[in-house]
Structure 1
Amino acid sequence: MQIKSLIRPGIKIILIFLIGYTMSHFLREWINAICYAQGVPDEVRIIVSRFSVIAYVLPFLVISPRNVFPSEILRVGNFRASISFPFIWRGKADPLWRFLIIFAVIMALGTFYFIFSYLNDLERNELKLLLYYGLIFSLVNSILEEWVWRGVALHQYVQWSGNVYGLIVTSLLFGMSHYDLGFSVWVCIAFAIGGFFMGGVAIRSKGIVASIVMHVYMNLIFTMTGMIFS
């Protein structure tokens, strides 16, 4: 695809993101203000505040309301589909289910030290609460973010600019959206890389269930390293 043909959808995508980013920010601040006023526990506040990500979908209701609930959301997807590492379409090909298992093992090994260091300082009751809130957070956040980013945004951006550019742009914006949550630029870049593979999983499986599973696992890992609630 030529660069000139990407300029118009690129401008449209940036405007949609900026509008969604702004609306999500103020919605999250409003939710946090209510939770603080009501004395809601921080863990519950953090979970509830993730509903602010829905604001990213609102611009799509104006531009293309039919794509807010694309058919991919209703599909389980094909876990036997082939996906290549590291470039989704290029690299070592594996069935999707094997790719997810390898990803899970590598991520667990890579974060083992941080998980052990954080959990080792917790008492038994604290650990139970962490796992309880962590599971709820992981399910809520993963379903919402996958619907928004891989269900709605990726689906729309792929229609405008093709699979490759749509995946790259969605991944970058997904990473950037976390900057408003207080994460550093480097962490946002890491999230963008994760978003690239989750988007690739969604594209190759033709559904978002596999990417939701991947996202839930990642969120549980982040919870156990202390990244979410500490």
Structure 2
Amino acid sequence: MKTAYVNKSLPFLQLSVFTAGVLLFQVKLFAFAFILSFGLIIFLLFLSKQERVFSWTIAGYLTGSLLFLYGDKLLDALPLPYYILLILNRLLLVIPILILVYISIKFNKTAIPFLQKPDWNSLIFFPFIWSGFHSLKIKHFLIIAIVINFAAFAYSIFSADNSFSRDFLIFLIGFSIVNGLMEELLWRGIILSRMAELSEEKAAVLFSGLAFGFSHMMLGYSFILCLLFAVGGIFYAAVTVKSQSIFPAFIWHMAINVFMILSGLVSFPG
């Protein structure tokens, strides 16, 4: 009975370790983050027969994030406009993506199972996603969500002094697409997929959203704002799970990136 309880708790232990590892990494406690992840690998190796793909996913994400930081340092030496360097910075997320794809393949997993045509007619419920007093099809939910987000940013957008120069438009379009695509491939395409295989979908949505929010701390955002990003990450994940595709979340994510740049929350470094 005790063994069954331990095995049932292990998925939540791994999800918690991943979220804690992301948080430790973001506050630059790199050694503690790696000790935590490799400690989990050793624990599972000797004390559990449970599949270890997710523990290696944790280590792979942290390793990829460290290489990402190193790559970002190398970008500083390039003689390019800073707004181009910011777009290239987002493109460097391909490093942890490729590492996690490799780990998935080594464990005979489909690396990105949500990379398919979305089920636009799938239902999402209010206020608890899986249950509530009202439901909407994903395609209608997405339109309403983007309109609400625009309304929230509208005052800042119309108050901002945007020049709409060629450089600004390149940054607006390039950053929005690259950041949205890279983050969705990483967080909803791979990490959410591995979490959903490890545990139930609701836990995967919650923990992936929290970790996604914390992953923005090193970008200079406050803890409170990162918690708001976490709420967004939870809804991105829910839309992905419900539609069985990352594309609705990518469209939504890209739209919010556009609003953040137009409002000045993401500053154009021109």
TM range (shorter): 0.7 to 0.9
Deviation at 1:180, TM superposition (A): 1.7
User: In the alignment, what sits opposite 2:44?
Assistant: none
| Residue in structure 2 matching 1:6, options 2, 5, 9 | 9
Cα shift at 1:18: 6.5
> Residues 41, 114 of structure 1: CA spacing in aligned structure 2 closer, same or farther, 3 A cutoff?
same
Deviations 1:123-158 (A, max 9, x none): 353xx4323311111111111111111111111101
CA separation of 1:94/1:139 partners in 2, compared to 1, >3 Å: closer, same or farther? same
Task: Find out whether 1:98 has 2:143 as its counterpart.
Answer: no
- Contact 2:87 / 2:179 at 8 angstroms: preserved in 1? yes
Taking structure 1 as reference, are residues 24 and 51 closer, same or farther at Cα in structure 2, changes over 3 Å only? farther
Question: Any residues of structure 2 matched to 1:149-188 within 5 Å, and which?
Answer: 149-188=187-226
Q: Percent identity?
A: 25
Displacement of 1:54 after TM fit? 3.2
Q: Does 1:84 align with 2:150?
A: no
Question: Which residue identity is paired with 1:71?
Answer: P
The alpha-carbon distance between structure 1 residues 21 and 42, as it changes in their structure 2 partners (threshold 3 A), is farther
Aligned counterpart, 1:196 = 234
Quote the Cα distance in structure 2 between the aligned partners of 1:35 and 1:202: 32
Larger Rg: 2
Aligned to 1:24: 65
TM-score (norm 2): 0.74
- CA distance in structure 1 between the aligned counterparts of 2:60 and 2:152, rounded to whole angstroms: 36
**Larger CA deviation: 6-15 vs 175-184:** 6-15
Judging changes above 3 Å, is the alpha-carbon distance between structure 1 residues 18 and 112 closer, same or farther for their aligned structure 2 residues?
A: farther
- 1:141 corresponds to which residue? 179
Q: Could you tell me which residue of structure 2 aligns to residue 44 of structure 1?
A: 84
Q: Tell me the CA shift for residue 41 of structure 1.
A: 1.2
Contact 2:118–2:247, Cα closer than 8 Å, also in 1: yes
Task: Report SS of the residue matched to 1:215.
Answer: helix
Structure 1 191/17 Cα, relative in aligned 2: closer, same or farther at 3 Å? farther
Displacement of 1:194: 0.6
RMSD of aligned alpha carbons: 2.3
Partner Cα separation in structure 2 for residue 176 and residue 22 of structure 1: 17
Q: After the TM superposition, which of the residue ranges 81-90 and 10-19 deviates more from structure 2?
A: 10-19
Q: Mark the CA change 1:25 to 1:220 in structure 2 (over 3 Å): closer, same or farther.
A: farther
CA contact 2:112–2:190 (8 Å) conserved in 1? yes
Paired residue secondary structure (2:124): strand
Q: Which residue of 2 aligns with 1:70?
A: 112
Q: Which amino acid aligns with 1:157?
A: M
Matched with 1:54 is: 94
- Which SS does the other structure have where 2:117 is aligned? coil
1:19 and 1:225 map into 2 onto residues whose CA distance is 35
Query: Structure 1 residues 185, 68: CA separation in 2 closer, same or farther (over 3 Å shift)?
Result: farther
* TM-score, structure 1 as length reference: 0.86
**Structure 1 unaligned spans of 5+:** none
Q: For 2:189, give the aligned amino acid.
A: G
Corresponding residue for residue 41 of structure 2: none
Question: Deviations along 1:52-92, whole A, 9 cap, x unmatched?
Answer: 3334442563365444633321x111111111123210222
For residues 67 and 133 of structure 1, do their structure 2 counterparts lie closer, same or farther at Cα, with a shift above 3 Å needed? farther
Distance (Å, rounded) in 2 between the aligned partners of 1:214 and 1:204: 14
Residue 59 to residue 87, structure 1, CA distance change in 2 (3 Å): same
Contact 1:176 1:188 in 2 (8 A): yes
